[in-house]
Every structure is written in structure tokens, then in C-alpha cells.
Amino acid sequence: MNPHPQTMEDLQAENRFLKERIRDLELSESARKRDEERLRESEKRFWLITETIDEVFWMTDRDLHRILYLSPSFERVWGRSRESLYQNQRSFLDAVHPEDRERFLANLESGKNGQAFEQEYRILLPDGTLRHIWDRRFPIRNEQGSITGYAGITTDISELKRIERARNESVQLLRETLSSLHEAVLLVDTNSRVISDCNQTAEVMFGFSREELIGRTSESLHVGEASWRAFGEKVLAQLAVSDHFEFAFQMKRRDGTVFPTEHFGRPIRHGKSFHTVISVIRDLTERKRAQEEQERLRAQLVQAQKMESIGRLAGGVAHDFNNMLGVILGHSEMALDQVDILHPLHGDLQEIRKAAQRSADLTRQLLAFARKQTVMPRILDLNGTVSGMLKMLKRLIGEDIELEWNPGEGVWPVRMDPSQIDQMLANLCVNARDAIAAVGRVTISTDNSILEREEGDEAEFYSGDFVCLTVKDSGCGMTPEVRNHLFEPFFTTKEVGKGTGLGLATVYGIIRQNGGFIRVDSEPGLGTSFRLFMPRFSARVEPVSRENTEKKLLQGCETVLLVEDEPGLLKMGGLMLQKLGYRVLAAGSPEEAERLAEAHPGEVMLLITDVVMPQMNGRDLAKKLTSVHPQLKCLLMSGHSADILSQAGSREAEVHFVQKPFSIRILAEKIREVLDAAP
């Protein structure tokens, strides 16, 4: 109370002050009550959240020894009741996976430093189910900043782990799938043109490791900047009208090798835009090589078919031509025997005979090319056969050209007609002589060759054991264009009148007839080498006799049945046989031959028959007649009967044969050879 008397104004002022003070106190109390209510509401909402969230909310004391609170989600996540954990504060350790407990406890101790902390571990439910847990822990501080406890949130991340495992497995499966592809796969950023990923095939294809490819610009895999820009323009042009791009393009390996590729790509779109392109690249090197090989083989097939067609034509022409030559040769020989050597006609007949003989030689070469030449193969020592020809070959090539002979050691035997070896060597040496302008050298050598066919080899190249006969010259050589037509009949680069174009065609036919093949190495100005590969034959070698002594015509008196469907030859053959003293039954067909043999009262000792005839071939006719007349012997004649004899299943040694056109001397010798042979 104021000791001094108060005026009315003072009393009123004090009264106002007291009222305001009372009002302030009332407001403060109301605010306090509101704050308390808000706090209660906040706590209520907080505990409501902790009671309903899927995560486990927990609180502990500051030493992490006593659990103060566990939200209800604990029972769902851990599979245990909260009461059991309240009663046994350390029992939660039993749920931690044994492999994670040591790390869990170490993290628990390190978490007492007052810092927020998180860790991941696994727990085992009572039924054995495994769960992955992610724990986040943070300190609770009072107004002074001191730690009074810890709170934390535990989340079951088992489903996230399952999804992560599935994703990793999918990624791994995708990587393994991409690695198993024969195509390279690149992921390229379209903005930076940088490679972001690749598969294993890309490493092999380009020669870079995956680490080296990732982060590298795609430009480094192209031939140059211009090529790279052209590639990008193609990609954008196709993607403007399609959802993918596909085209062929050249690329570059680490070592700088340029190789053909085929691209297939698709962008990874986000709406209408895209920032990444998946590019699948196929190496076309092997395909290109296979296509080139196919083209080469197709060209070889066409060439082989052309040679076969020419051979068929040549064989057919030679067969018919031989019949005509037989008539000319036979009549000229018989006329020469009847005309005195001093008579003016003798010289003319001699020229006719020589021309017929030269024509016969040409047809023989045609037959050799067509592989229809009749041969009598023998097992030969090639070195001995070649050695016996050297003098003749030396005379053939002339004195200005040196002939060098290099026989190989231990050369294997071959099975061929010796006359064919002579024919091939003569033709090759003549060809070498003509290729040498003046002075030069021809080298003949032999050796053994064990060959294995490889990809890219010619179709006529075989694997196996071969004997190689090489004829090499120091002549002018050949261009590739000439080599392509080398073995075609009548193809020649020589002047008119200096070559028939049959020499090398003859060599080709002979070597192919005997199961071999030829390789030619030649370049302009560097000479030519012909290598003739003949199959090895394992057997005893037969000596080759080169005797050519003149003998008196051998004659006889037996009855001979002559069968020939060509009237001119039938007449000519009959005249020859009569001149040699034989009695002749002449038949123009197999049917007529059967009738004559059946009607003849005496014994028919010899059948001379053409091989190729209408209705029945000579071999079948001989079989039919010998079945009725066992004493009958047979001599076959033809211009190209090698195939007929082979089809008959007979070995050459069991067949008596005379090749058309033949002279009267050859016919006389063959007849006596057959008739005088032991039965």
C-alpha cells in the first residue's frame, strides 16, 4: 500500500495496472494450457505413427543397454513378442544371423559415440526364415545438448534385396547372353558418341578390352572422320523413318585392319527423344571370304563343265574321225605294197599315208584330252621312265637349250601307261622350247609329295600321297588370262602353223585320266613351272621296254570273225586280214555276227569286234559268243573304249585291244599275240 494518501487518479491508474496484470496472467495460463494440449496432441500423433508404421521404431537408454520402447511392427519383422524382449533385453542377439553377430556388436559399441549411425545385417526368424534388416540410429539430447538416449528405425529390406538379386541375376543373364552372341554389342551415348558398355564379342572383334572400350568414342572404331560422319548420317536418316537402322559399313580394329560389318541398331527412347543407341555389329569377313570362295568354286565349276563339254565333243569327233582315218591309212598302206617304189604314184601314196598318220596323232591327242584314250597302265619307276626319254627330249628341244635332270631319291611307283609319260613330257618340253626365245634351260625333276587339301585350294586338288613330275623352263612366262585358257583344246598363243593348241590339252587329259592333277606357276618374264601330281601306287615296278625293231609281217590261216558297223572300215579290215592269210567272216552288226558264227561249218578262232556299236557293244558280244563257242578268242578295237572296258569290270591285263586307227603291221602283231596266247 502506498503510505501517502492517494488521489483518485492514482487509484484509478493502479486499478488499471492490476487488471492488466490479471489479464496477462490469464493469457499466459491459457497459452500454457494450449501448448500442453498441442504437445499432448503431437505426442499422441507421434505414438500413433510409431504404432502403425511398417518400420520398427525403438528407444534405448544412453548406454544402449536397456530398451525403453519397441513399436508393434517389431513382432511382424522379428517374429517375436515385445514382452519377451522387454524381459530379456539381450535376447535380440539370438535373432541376428551368426555370421553377422560379431560385426553387429562391433557396430553397436561404435554407435555410443553420439553420432548418427546405420548398418545392415540379417536376422533369422523362429521358423528359419532369413530377413535383411537396415538399422538407422540417432541420439536423443536434452536442452543442454547431453545425450539421454538413442532412438532408431529398423526397416525390413528383404523384398528390396530380393528385387536387387533378381535385377543382378537379370543383368548377369543379359551379360552372359550378350557374351554368347557372335555379334558385337555396343551401347553408345548419342550426344557424346561415347561407348558406355559392350559385350565380350566386341572386345574380340575390335581388339580392345571392355575397360578400354567403355569411355572411348565410337569414332575411334571407324576408318576415319569422314567415314564416322557418314555412319552417323545414315543412322539418323533411317531413324527418322523407322524405329531401327540396318546397313553394312566398314570398321577398324585396334591394329588398323579394316573389315566389313553389318549393323543393326535400335535407340532406347524416352518419349520422343533418345540418348542411347544399342548397336549390334556382325563381322562379315568370313561371309565375304565364303562368298569369294563360292564365286571361285562357281568359276571352277563352269570351267570344269566347259572342259567336260569340250572333251565330250572332242571324243565324239575323234571317234568318228578315227574310223575315216583307218580307211585312208589302210588303203594307202595296201596301195603302197602294190605300187613299185619307182612309180610316180608311190610318192603320192606315201604322202597320203603320212598325212593320215599325222591326223591320227592329232585325234589321239584329242582322245587324251577327253580322257577316252585307251591305255594299258603298268606299275612304273618314274625316274627310270623319264631317264629313258632324255636323249629324245634333248633332240626335241635343240642344242641351244640346256636340259637338266634332277631325279628325286626313293620316288614312289606310279601306275600309268608308259607311252602317256612319254606323251606328256614331249608336249611339255616342246611348249618350254617355244617359250624360250633363244638360249635357256628346261629342268625336269621328280619327288614325293604328301598333300593335305586346305580351304581355298582348287577343286581338282586332292589330299593323299603323290609323285610329282615337274617341268620348269626359263621362258617368257604367262599372264593370268593365258593361264585361264591354258588347257583348252586348240587354244594357242603361237603363230598360225606353229601349234595346234592340243599339246597342253593332251597333258591335262592324261593326268586327269590317271587320277592326278596339275599346278601351274607362271609370271610374265619369270618362266613357267608345270607340276604333275600322280597318285602313289604300292606294288612291284615293271620294267619298261623301248625296243622298236622292224619285223616281217606276221601271218596266219585261221578263220576270223570281223564285226564293224562302219562299212568302209569293215571292207578295209577284211582286205587287211585276207592279205595276212586269214579266212574272213565280215559282219556289219552284232546280230549278223551271231548268225555268221552259228552258220559257219568250221571253227571260228578269233573275234575282232568294234567296242562301240548300236544295240550291243563289243564286250557284250564277245561274252555272248564265247559262251556258245568256248574256243573263240577276242580282240577288241576302238578309238576310245577305255570307259567301256572299265564299265565291263575287266582288268586291262585280261583284255586284248587294238586302238584305231591301226596299221596292218600292228594288226598282224595283235592277232598273233591273241591267237598264240595260252588258253
53-156, superfamily in CATH? PAS domain (3.30.450.20)
Class of domain 559-675: alpha beta
Ordered alpha helix ranges (H), 558-663: 567-579, 590-599, 618-628, 642-647
| Residue 626 vs residue 545, higher pLDDT | 626
Given a cut of 70, whether residue 271 has pLDDT beyond it is no
**Structure confidence at residue 497 as a pLDDT band (50, 70, 90):** very low
Given a cut of 80, whether residue 522 has pLDDT beyond it is yes
What pLDDT, on a 0 to 100 scale, did the predictor assign at position 38?
67
Peptide bond preceding 344: is omega within 30 degrees of 0, i.e. cis? Answer: no
Rg (CA), the chain: 54
DSSP single-letter state for residue 410 = T
What pLDDT, on a 0 to 100 scale, did the predictor assign at position 456?
44
3-state SS of 124-145 is ECCCCCEEEEEEEEEEEECCCC
Mean pLDDT of 559-563: 93
Q: pTM above 0.85?
A: no
| Residue 641 vs residue 541, higher pLDDT | 541
What pLDDT, on a 0 to 100 scale, did the predictor assign at position 303?
64
**CB neighbour burial string for 282-296, b if at least 16 within 10 angstroms, e if fewer:** bbbeeeeeeeeeeee
Q: Are 122 and 131 in contact (CB under 8 A)?
A: yes
What pLDDT, on a 0 to 100 scale, did the predictor assign at position 634?
93
State the chain's mean pLDDT as an integer. Answer: 80
Ordered alpha helix ranges (H), 339-438: 344-369, 382-387, 390-397, 418-435
What pLDDT, on a 0 to 100 scale, did the predictor assign at position 643?
44
Number of neighbours of residue 126 by Cβ within 10 angstroms: 10
Query: Worst-scoring range by mean pLDDT, 77-86, 140-149, 290-299, 535-544?
Result: 535-544
| Residue 323 vs residue 469, higher pLDDT | 469
Question: Is 450 exposed, middle or buried, given 0-12, 13-18 or 19+ CB atoms closer than 10 A?
Answer: exposed
* Residue range 398-410, pLDDT digits in tens: 888 899 999 999 9
Residue 584, helix vs strand vs coil: strand
Answer yes or no: CATH 3.40.50.300 is held by domain 375-535. Answer: no
Given a cut of 80, whether residue 17 has pLDDT beyond it is no
* Residue range 158-191, pLDDT digits in tens: 888 899 888 888 878 877 777 777 888 888 887 7
Q: Are 85 and 70 in contact (CB under 8 A)?
A: yes
Given a cut of 80, whether residue 434 has pLDDT beyond it is yes
What pLDDT, on a 0 to 100 scale, did the predictor assign at position 586?
92
**Structure confidence at residue 112 as a pLDDT band (50, 70, 90):** low
Given a cut of 70, whether residue 49 has pLDDT beyond it is no
Angstrom distance (rounded) from CA 150 to CA 66: 10
Task: Quote the cell numbers at residue 171.
Answer: 543383368
Query: Worst-scoring range by mean pLDDT, 140-154, 455-469, 534-548, 557-571?
Result: 534-548
Mean pLDDT of 524-534: 91
Given a cut of 50, whether residue 646 has pLDDT beyond it is no
615: left (phi over 0), alpha (psi -120 to 50) or beta: left
- Angle (nearest 5°) at CA 386 between 382 and 392: 165
User: Please, which residues bridge with residue 443 across strands?
Assistant: 404, 472
What pLDDT, on a 0 to 100 scale, did the predictor assign at position 606?
93
Mean pLDDT of 107-132: 82
Angstrom distance (rounded) from CA 440 to CA 403: 9
Mean pLDDT of 371-380: 68
163-283, superfamily in CATH? PAS domain (3.30.450.20)
**Structure confidence at residue 132 as a pLDDT band (50, 70, 90):** very high
Task: Quote the cell numbers at residue 534.
Answer: 600322280
Mean pLDDT of 248-266: 90
Given a cut of 80, whether residue 553 has pLDDT beyond it is no
**Structure confidence at residue 533 as a pLDDT band (50, 70, 90):** very high
**Which segments within 371-485 are labelled E, that is strand?**
378-380, 401-406, 414-416, 440-451, 464-473
**Structure confidence at residue 494 as a pLDDT band (50, 70, 90):** low
What pLDDT, on a 0 to 100 scale, did the predictor assign at position 651?
40
Q: Are 336 and 326 in contact (CB under 8 A)?
A: no
What pLDDT, on a 0 to 100 scale, did the predictor assign at position 444?
95
